[in-house]
Structure 1
C-alpha cells in the first residue's frame, strides 16, 4: 500500500509576514476535532451549570444538517457518539463559522478542505479520530464518482454525511465545522501548542526546526497548512493536522486546572465552532458529563487506509484501500482502532510527523 509516510521548547524561529500575505494565503478553512476538545473542556466545567449553559448559548447551530437523509438507508445507531468535522475552501476575509460568522454565509457553497471522523466510546473514556483525504475518489450519492470534498459543495452537510455513512458504515450523530480564524484563536487561548517535527521545513515565512517547536496560533496555522516540501503532500499535511490537534487536546487538559484559562478556552471554542442544531445546551452538558473521564491520552489518531495516488482526467486523486477498508471501518465502529493499529503500525500517527 502506498503511504506518505527539558525545558520549554523555543518559539518558531520566524514569524508570519505582517503585510497580510499570510492571511490572504490562509483562506482555506481548517478543521480540528472540535467535538472532542469541546467535550474535554466542558467536562471540566460540567459541575458549574451556569458555565455550560451561558457558554452553550455562544455556539452557532447549523439547521438541517441531516435533512433529507433516508433513515432506513443509514447505519444503525450505537451507544458511541460520532462527529463528522470539516473545514471548507472559503475565501472569506471574515469568520464563516461560529457566532462571529457573517450573516448569510452558506457553508455548503464551498468544498470541504479537511474531513475528520471523531468517535467517542460509550463509556466516554476513549476516542478515535480518523482523517479522510479530501481528494479521496468515492461515490457521491446522486452525483457519481468524484472527490469526496465535492460532496459538501454539491449538497452541504446532508450530502457529505450521506457520502461518509455509505463509505464507512459508521453512523454520524453530529456535524461540526470551524474556520482557520477559530483554530488560531483556540491555539492562542491555551498559550500555544508544542509539536515535534521530523526535519526542518518552512511555510509562508514560518520556519520549523527539527525536534520540538512551540507555536502560537498563526505559526500553528502555517504548520498544519503546509503540503509543499513534504514527501506525502496532502497526506503528510493531514498527519500534521492530527498532530496539532493532539497537542491542543493535551494543552487543554492542563488548562482545566486554571479557572481563568478554562473560561477563555471554553469561550473561544464555543464562539468559533458551528454544530448541528440537534445539540442543545442540555445535550452538550450531557456529553460533558458522559466524557468527564476522556483525556488526550485516550484519543487514537489515524488516517483512512490509502492504496495510492493517481489521476482521474485532469484531477489528482487519492485511492482508498478497498482491501483494508472493511477491517478498518469495523474497528472504528467497534472502538478497536488501537488494536487495528497494533496490527498495522505504519498507519499510526507518528510522534514526529514530517
Structure 2
C-alpha cells in the first residue's frame, strides 16, 4: 500500500472505536450497550472507571448482540420494511392464544375504577392442566377453561409500574377463603372452575378493589416446557426436607432442575412446613430463577435460543383478547430497563389457617392486605416495599 493509499491513523482509530460501539457524541467514550442498562446509572460526565480491556471487549460484544436481537424482534415492528423479521415477530405474537370473554360483564359502576397513570396490573392464572388435554391426549393447545373441568392452581397479581422500572408479583394462595360472586364464600380457586376467567377476574377485583387490565393463563406443564427451553434453572434448597407421603425428599444445596424436576418442585406442598403458603413461595422462587436464567444465559442474544423460547411461550401461554400483538410488542419493549432486583415477589398478607365445613382454608389479614392493595392500585409499591421489605410475606433468599 502506498503512502497516498494509507488511511490517516487518527481516522482509522475513530473508525475502529465506532465499530466497537465506543464513540458517542463529541467523541466521548460510552460503556457497553445493553437493554438492561438504565440511563440514570451512567456517569453523566461520560467518564468511566478504568477497567481491564480484555474484560471490557467481551462485555461490549455481548451488549451489542443483546441490543441488536431485542431490536430485531421488537423495534422492527415500528419501522416496517424488514419483511422477514416483521413476519417472524408477528408470527410469534400471533401464536399466543387469545381468551375471549375473559372479563366480567357486570356494569362498570360495579367494578373498581381504573386509576390513570398507575401502571398496569395482570392477573396470572396457573392451572394443573388445560381443560381437555388430559382426556384427549393431543398435543394441540386445549381451551383454557371448560365448566367444572379444573380449578386454578395458582393466582398472582403482577403490577408493572407506570415508569416501567419495577414489577411486583403478589401470590394469593389457592385455599384463601373469599366471597365468590353468586356462590357465597369458598376457596378462591373455585371461582375459575365455576365461571372461568371472567368469574376469576371478578372475584379478585372484588377482593382487592384493583382493576385488572389483562389476564394470562398457563398450565404447569407449560412452565416445564419453558424451563427446558432455557436449559434448566438453578434452585437452592436451604435445608433438607424429608419425604412425606407422596412428597419426595429434597436435599440441601443447589439443584440444576430440568422441566420435569422443576414441576415437582413447584407443585409439592405436603412435605412443606406451611403447606400452601410455602408452595406459593416455591412457585415465586422458581419464577425468579427462570427470569434470572433467561436474562443471564445468553437466551436474549442467541438467535436459536430466542427463537426456541418465543416458540415455547406461544405454545403454552394464553392471554385475554384485549391484548393485541402491538400491545405485546409495546409491553416487551417498555420493560427493557427492568433488572432482576427490580422484580419483587410476595404473598398476600397471611391471617392464619382455619377449617370451614371440613375444608382446610387460608385466611387473609384483611387490614394488612388493604394497605398492599391500595399501594398497587395507586402505583406506590416502592414506598410499600421500603416499609415491608423484612415482612415474612416477602420472598427472601431462603425458600424451603
**Would the TM-score normalized by the shorter structure come out above 0.5?**
yes
What are the residue-to-residue correspondences of 1:148-227 with 2, within 5 Å? Answer: 148-201=188-241, 207-227=249-269
Say yes or no: does 1:251 pair with 2:251: no
Structure 1 position 340 matched with structure 2 position 368: no
2:277 maps to 235
- The answer (yes or no) to whether the contact 1:115–1:134 under 8 Å persists in 2 is yes
Q: Which residue of 2 aligns with 1:87?
A: 126
Q: Distance in 2 between matches of 1:191 and 1:210?
A: 22
2: CA distance between counterparts of 1:191 and 1:95? 29
Cα deviation 1:135-174 (Å, max 9, x = unaligned): 1111111211111111111111111111111111111011
Aligned to 1:276: 320
Q: Distance in 1 between matches of 2:382 and 2:335?
A: 19
TM-score, with length taken from structure 2: 0.72
Q: Which moved more, 1:337-346 or 1:119-128?
A: 337-346
2:109 maps to which residue?
Answer: 72
Q: Which residue of 2 aligns with 1:47?
A: 75
| Cα contact 1:135–1:317 (8 A) shared by 2 | yes
Partners of 2:279 and 2:164 lie apart in 1 by 28
Q: 1 or 2, which has the higher helix percentage?
A: 2
What runs of 5+ residues in structure 2 fail to find an aligned partner? 1-68, 78-85
Distance of aligned partners of 1:42 and 1:225 in 2 relative to their CA distance in 1, 3 Å threshold: farther
Whether contact under 8 Å (2:144, 2:217) holds in the other structure is no
Q: Which structure has the larger Rg?
A: 2
SS across alignment from 1:302 = strand
Moved more, 121-130 or 300-309: 121-130
- What does 1:311-350 correspond to in 2, within 5 Å? 311-344=355-388, 345=390, 346-350=392-396
- Residues in 1 aligned to 2:293 and 2:368: alpha-carbon distance in whole angstroms: 33
Instruction: Report which structure shows greater RCO (CA 8 Å, sep ≥6).
Output: 1
TM-score normalised according to structure 1 size: 0.81
Higher strand share: 1
Structure 2: how far apart are the matches of 1:46 and 1:347? 36
- Please report how far the alpha carbon of residue 353 of structure 1 lies from its aligned counterpart in structure 2 after TM superposition: 0.5
Report Cα offsets for 1:246-292 as digits up to 9, x if no partner: 11111111221222211111111121101111111111112122222
User: In 1, are the aligned partners of 2:132 and 2:142 still within 8 Å (CA)?
Assistant: no
Structure 1 pair 182–104 and aligned structure 2 pair: CA distance change class (3 A): closer
Within the alignment, does 1:59 sit opposite 2:59 as a pair? Answer: no
Total equivalences in the alignment: 313
Question: What's the CA shift string for 1:104-161, capped at 9, x where partnerless?
Answer: 9627642111111111111212110000011111111121111111111111111111
Please give the root-mean-square deviation of Cα atoms over the aligned residues, in Å.
2.5
TM-superposed deviation, 1:202: 6.2
> Residue 300 of structure 1 contacts residue 338 of structure 1 at CA under 8 Å; is this kept in 2?
no
- Say whether the 8 Å CA contact 1:300–1:337 is kept in structure 2: no
For 2:341 and 2:95, locate their aligned partners in 1 and report how far apart those are by CA, in whole Å. 28
Change beyond 3 A, Cα 1:107–1:63: farther
Gaps of 5+ in 1: 1-40
Does the CA-based 8 Å contact 1:88-1:107 persist in structure 2? no
Contact 1:109 1:156 in 2 (8 A): no
Aligned-pair distance for 1:193?
0.7
